[in-house]
Structure 1
């Protein structure tokens, strides 16, 4: 969830094309499916949007099909979660095709990608080893900050030929106290445009921020996690207890 979320103005599209007119809580599954397929086809970053399938059942969306690289799989999820209305939940079951590229070449490409990330040069504690088997990448070693672990994973995910990334990096720097993290979380929630502090409960345990409450759209839920994970010292964000309220209803 590293890319900026853009809320696309699909509400002005014609009924025959996308079906987003009137009260967005009255969208049918067919309208949402058609809108998602169009949204994926519109994005020039996806190599082959036509290979991605979409299934919608009572607002629950499942992405399927195949893509040639992990970056496209993650990008498709970000596009849907960050730009669509009427969605209750999203499951990404897209399959990444196993690469013809040799594992050794993928490993070298991942190592080069890690060397290109300025944040990973901040500390001598950042010692990352890369293992590859049939396109599956494992990151092992140590990093100073949770941020370093996240940027290393994202750098590896963006390399062509990578099918999956297992992040086994251990954070060895001094952890930030939970109460200090919580203070920043509160400050963030007070000004976040897509979250009401009165509707969101928060708790920080060992660097993991746990949120509970309601937001209007699935995009809001993803944006919350995306923003809060950038707070210094945060090791993870749990939004599993955040409920989306503005979903389509059966007519």
Structure 2
């Protein structure tokens, strides 16, 4: 007779998995990153020379079973070869926005201060705001990107938004749609239920943001451990 048993990983086991994953990633120098695990919450520390490396380290461990949350305390310190003036960054930002078809550049305004990029304006879709952030934070010399001042037009009814999100979950191979409930109030979507990893939790949030009219997503999904079969 087989029964389902949930196996809880110890913090030591999770830390070992995290270190192995960082070692496995070709774009990450694991010697620059410190790892602390407490009750399944992973804290990353250390210093890297680009936002891309910082983001890659965080992303690498979010799919590890047992990781409940990630606190990213990695600092970015650029060497002389990576330094750019705000004027140079602003020019790079304008070029990146022009070349990305997902970003409606004509509707957005950009300000650069001490390496930080602030974007304001209005877009039709949540994914356009996300695309703006992801595209710009990869640019050399950028310390961070703030898109909180980008507003999203509301063009559809909440029920239509809910149905579109549910359908998107059902199409996605990496999202267990049956474990997620979707609530829509105005332009805010709330996700509830259980998923198997932080990556799945974030994928569900990204899918919800792609629905028309969605301005914010409240992600209340909880990460649970994978059940295993024991004979």
- TM-score normalised by length of structure 2: 0.82
Unaligned regions of 5+ residues in structure 2, if any? Answer: 227-231
Q: 1: distance between equivalents of 2:206 and 2:150?
A: 21
Q: 1:151 to 1:133 in 2, by over 3 A?
A: same
Structure 2 partner of 1:10: none
Q: Name the SS for the 1:62 alignment partner.
A: strand
Matched, 1:182 2:165: no
Q: Using the TM superposition, give the Cα deviation of residue 114 of structure 1 relative to its aligned residue in structure 2, in angstroms.
A: 0.8
Q: Does the 8 Å CA contact 2:48/2:77 hold for their aligned counterparts?
A: yes
Q: What's the CA shift for 1:217?
A: 2.8
- CA 1:180–1:126 in 2, change beyond 3 Å: closer, same or farther? farther
Report Cα offsets for 1:73-131 as digits up to 9, x if no partner.
222222111x311112222222222563211111111111111101235xxx8332221
Q: Which runs of 4+ in 1 moved over 4 A?
A: 190-193
The question of 1:102 aligning with 2:85 is answered yes
Q: Answer with 90-99 or 178-187: which moved more.
A: 90-99
Report the equivalent of 2:198: 218
- Aligned ranges for residues 129-144 of structure 1 at < 5 Å? 129-144=109-124
Q: Partner of 2:102: helix, strand, or coil?
A: helix
Distance 1:25 1:150 in 2: 35
Tell me the distance in 2 between the aligned counterparts of 1:144 and 1:192: 23
Q: Which residue of the partner structure matches residue 17 of structure 1?
A: none
Higher mean displacement: 142-151 or 161-170: 142-151
Quick one: structure 1 residues 178 and 138, their matched pair in 2 at CA, closer, same or farther if it must change by over 3 Å?
Answer: same
Aligned equivalents of 1:97, 1:86: Cα separation in 2: 31
CA drift at 1:61: 0.9
Q: Give distance in 1, aligned partners of 2:154 and 2:40.
A: 43
Asked whether the 8 Å contact 2:165–2:207 carries over to 1, the reply is no
**After superposition, where does 1:205-244 map in structure 2 within 5 Å?**
205-239=185-219, 241-244=220-223
Residues 102, 209 of structure 1: alpha-carbon distance in 2 compared, 3 angstrom cutoff? same
Compute the displacement of 1:246 (Å): 1.0
Task: Say which structure is richer in strand.
Answer: 2
Contact 1:143 1:169 in 2 (8 A): no
1:246 to 225, 228, 231: 225
Instruction: State whether structure 2 residue 11 is matched by structure 1 residue 29.
Output: yes
The TM-score normalised by the length of structure 1 is: 0.76
Alignment of 1:110-125 (within 5 A): 110-120=93-103
Structure 1 position 50, deviation (Å)? 2.3
Deviations 1:44-87 (A, max 9, x none): 233x3321211101211111212222222222222111x31111
Partners of 2:126 and 2:39 lie apart in 1 by 37
Q: Distance in 2 between matches of 1:114 and 1:226?
A: 20
Out of 54, 62, 80, the position equivalent to 2:61 is 80
Gap regions ≥5 residues in structure 1: 1-22
Determine the C-alpha separation between the residues in 2 that align with 1:191 and 1:146: 19
**Cα 1:246–1:97, aligned 2, differ >3 Å: closer, same or farther?**
same
Deviations 1:161-183 (A, max 9, x none): 11111114433645322111101
